[in-house]
Structure 1
């Protein structure tokens, strides 16, 4: 369940980052603030279940890669193979962190918070 919270937070992050760039009126700014609140809510929930360093690394990496891909594909940002290579490295790093976060780290985190199996 912790990883679901991380990916929900990163998904919502895409919208608030784009909102920071494109908001022009009170309603759009309000939506941006609401998405920031949801994003941080999901991060807080994820940190209760997974190591916070891992959560933050995956959250920022996934969000940064997704936003860069959206910039290239939908918003007309300049695409270069160098940028694509570095985005690929971010994605590889995020997957690597997720794969190497063992269940023992999760069990230790749950023991510290007094929670049983999630």
Structure 2
């Protein structure tokens, strides 16, 4: 269940980061409230995930999901650049998140 909490928390992190943009420095009421609620939900789910997932892994995966998802959203919907090297870097973030899941808690590390 921890990994489900973590996945949802990461998606919510992406959404609250978008909300920050539209809150205009917390000067617009509804986008600010929406963002604050999403922040609380995301952090609550992150803390629940940390009950069963090591803190370093959970935080890295949470921020990686948010970073990669937000970069893709920026490219697709906010006219941010999306060249080959940028896409390769996003792929490396995703590979790192997958690696943390595959080689985490109890998995044998073939490099040790």
Check whether TM > 0.5: yes
Structure with a larger share of its residues in helix: 1
Unaligned runs of 5+ in 2: 108-112
1:54 partnered with 2:60: no
The answer to whether the 8 Å contact 2:54/2:105 transfers is no
Residue 87 in structure 1 maps to residue 81 in structure 2: no
1:103 shift after superposition:
4.1
- Alpha-carbon distance, 1:102 to partner: 3.1
Q: CA deviation at 1:74?
A: 1.2
Q: What is the 5 A alignment of 1:26-105?
A: 26-103=29-106
Distance in structure 1 (CA, Å) of the matches to 2:14 and 2:53: 22
The whole-number CA distance in structure 2 between the counterparts of 1:2 and 1:86 is 27
Q: Distance in 2 between matches of 1:78 and 1:22?
A: 20
CA RMSD of aligned residues (A): 1.2
Secondary structure in 2 matching 1:40: helix
After TM superposition, the runs of 4+ consecutive aligned structure 1 residues lying more than 2 A away are none
